[in-house]
Amino acid sequence: MSQARYVLSIDQGTTSTRCIVFDDKAQQISLARREFAQHYPDDGWVEHDPEDIWRDVVDTVREALGEAGLTDGTGVAAIGITNQRETVVLWERETGKPVYRAIVWQDRRTAALCAKLKQEGAEDLVRARTGLLLDPYFSATKLAWLLDNLPDVRERAERGELAFGTIDSFLLWRLTGGKVHATDATNASRTLLFDIHRQVWDEDLLKLFRIPAAVLPEVRDNSTVFGESDPALFGRAIPIAGMAGDQQAAVIGQACFAPGMAKSTYGTGCFMLLNTGEKPVSSDNRMLTTVAYRLGGRTVYAEEGAIFVAGAAIKWLRDGVGVITHASQTDDMATRVPDSHGVYMVPAFVGLGAPHWDPEARALICGLTFSATAAHLARAALESVAFQTLDLAEAMQRDGAGQLKTIRIDGGMSANDWFCQFLADMLQAEVERPACLETTSMGAAFLAGLAVGVWKDLDEVAATWKRGAVFEPRMDGEQRARMIAGWKDALKRTLPAK
């Protein structure tokens, strides 16, 4: 074991924090995981306690190192970090203490501000510089809310006393004992403050959102030594050498390095990214243009479709209405009934993302009759995720991407064979599931390992990717068309008339 070189990956997600140790063959050696509390203080508000996140990161790292027999950190070449994107933390530089809970990417409290800025004609500037749309999903309006609604916070920020970051930046600060305030190009590209073409914080956007430059982190490549962990944390100082937002980390983990390759991750939400190479593609169908990764100063872009609720719909069935007791039950329940019995779920619990971008939309279940059962609800929830993915694929196709032939999938829902088959049927595309589903964590590990020489280049990384299963479309065309028509009707009922 001592001959191998290990990379430790911190994967800080929306509902859980996990840490995985990989060896230099990209094999998983150990895994530790913790779920943490979600806070919903008002309608459409979603918050996390950054101290909960920090505690879980330290605990899971120590547990994973211990399970791998690396208690003192010896043999660990580097740490990689991947994180829930767009979630905002503002903390004191002197103490490292957050001034408020983290405002989560799902949070919709700034919908009115986004609508006001749209009415004032600001969205064209935002789209041209950032590739994004004016939506509460992104970081800038969340940060503006903190500056405008907490006593003395704006004044303290302008004096340089406070630091802003997405979760990656906050964890880097804490891990390095407050020595490094930085982020990476992928997380920066999700803030509405970063010019993805010039790769700099944009002065016009800072002025638009009234954000003082003094709070911003330095932006670096995804694979570089950001700093070292405080030796008191894990036994010795370990280089922190890779960082990326979770969806971009999954692009790396799925080895989608060639233009035209696509991946879709099914976690709390669903995020589909299509590699477009070194040229950013501007969408005419309300898809996002984003940084896929930046290595050695070279930026590769992606077109992205963001679905806010995927696995979260299954979690609601479990925790909200008690229809199931374990998420894994949905596979069995979906196969227990021959079809969804005309039941459709549009899971707009926190509004709808791409390609609709309606923060005011709310979830709907339609087609219920007295003969509908819990199994039909579970099946409708799973089907809704595939239907939403189809909406993204069709929007990308209208943007000129062409018919999707193959897509690589990952995330918790991809373990469900029934869902994977239904997805292949809806997309009319080959669905590839990798042998290791922890591709987000693996992507962070690859980025860290590349920076310190564990892996030589992207070709060597791509050679580690292994297909676990493949699902080919097999549904009858008439049945598929009928089901899609039902979905589009349900969408119309959810979206207000324009």
Give the tens place of pLDDT for each residue, 443-453: 999 999 999 99
- Please work out, in degrees rounded to the nearest 5, the angle formed at the alpha carbon of residue 439 by the alpha carbons of 438 and 442: 90
Query: Where does the pLDDT of residue 226 fall: very low under 50, low under 70, confident under 90, or very high at 90 and above?
Result: very high
Select from 245, 266, 300 the last residue of a domain.
Answer: 245
Select from 220, 245, 270 the last residue of a domain.
Answer: 245
- The answer to whether residues 97 and 195 belong to one domain is yes
Determine the pLDDT at residue 73.
Answer: 83
Phi, psi of 283, deg, nearest 5 = -85, 140
Determine the pLDDT at residue 21.
Answer: 96
Query: Where does the pLDDT of residue 358 fall: very low under 50, low under 70, confident under 90, or very high at 90 and above?
Result: confident
The answer to whether the annotation marks 15 as part of a ligand binding site is: yes
The answer to whether the annotation marks 137 as part of a ligand binding site is: yes
Select from 202, 219, 245 the last residue of a domain.
Answer: 245
The percent of residues above 90 in pLDDT, for the chain, comes to: 74
The answer to whether the annotation marks 74 as part of a ligand binding site is: no
DSSP character for 496?
Answer: P
Averaged pLDDT for residues 419-434: 95
The answer to whether the annotation marks 412 as part of a ligand binding site is: yes
Determine the pLDDT at residue 2.
Answer: 38
Neighbour tally for 407: CB within 10 Å: 22
CATH for 190: 3.30.420.40
The answer to whether the annotation marks 119 as part of a ligand binding site is: no
Closest alpha carbon to 270 in 316, 328, 301, 311:
311
Domain that holds residue 355: 254-433+465-497
The answer to whether the annotation marks 95 as part of a ligand binding site is: no
Q: Given strand 162-166, what is the order of strands in its sheet?
A: 47-48, 102-103, 88-92, 162-166
Q: What is the pLDDT of residues 369-419, one digit of tens each?
A: 998 888 888 889 899 999 999 999 999 988 887 778 899 999 888 888 999
- The answer to whether residues 322 and 185 belong to one domain is no
- The answer to whether residues 175 and 34 belong to one domain is yes
The answer, yes or no, to whether residue 4 has pLDDT greater than 70, is no
Residue 453 lies in a domain: no
| Average model confidence (pLDDT) across the chain | 91
Total tally of structural domains belonging to the chain: 2
Q: What is the pLDDT of residues 17-36, one digit of tens each?
A: 999 999 999 999 999 999 99
The answer to whether the annotation marks 325 as part of a ligand binding site is: no
Q: Rounded to an integer, what is the distance from CA 29 to the centroid of its chain? A: 24
Residue 137 lies in a domain: yes
Residue 401 lies in a domain: yes
The answer to whether the annotation marks 16 as part of a ligand binding site is: yes
The answer to whether the annotation marks 203 as part of a ligand binding site is: no
- The answer to whether residues 332 and 240 belong to one domain is no
Helices (H), 161-290: 167-175, 185-188, 203-209, 231-234, 246-253
The answer to whether the annotation marks 120 as part of a ligand binding site is: no
Residue count (the chain): 498
The answer to whether the annotation marks 246 as part of a ligand binding site is: yes
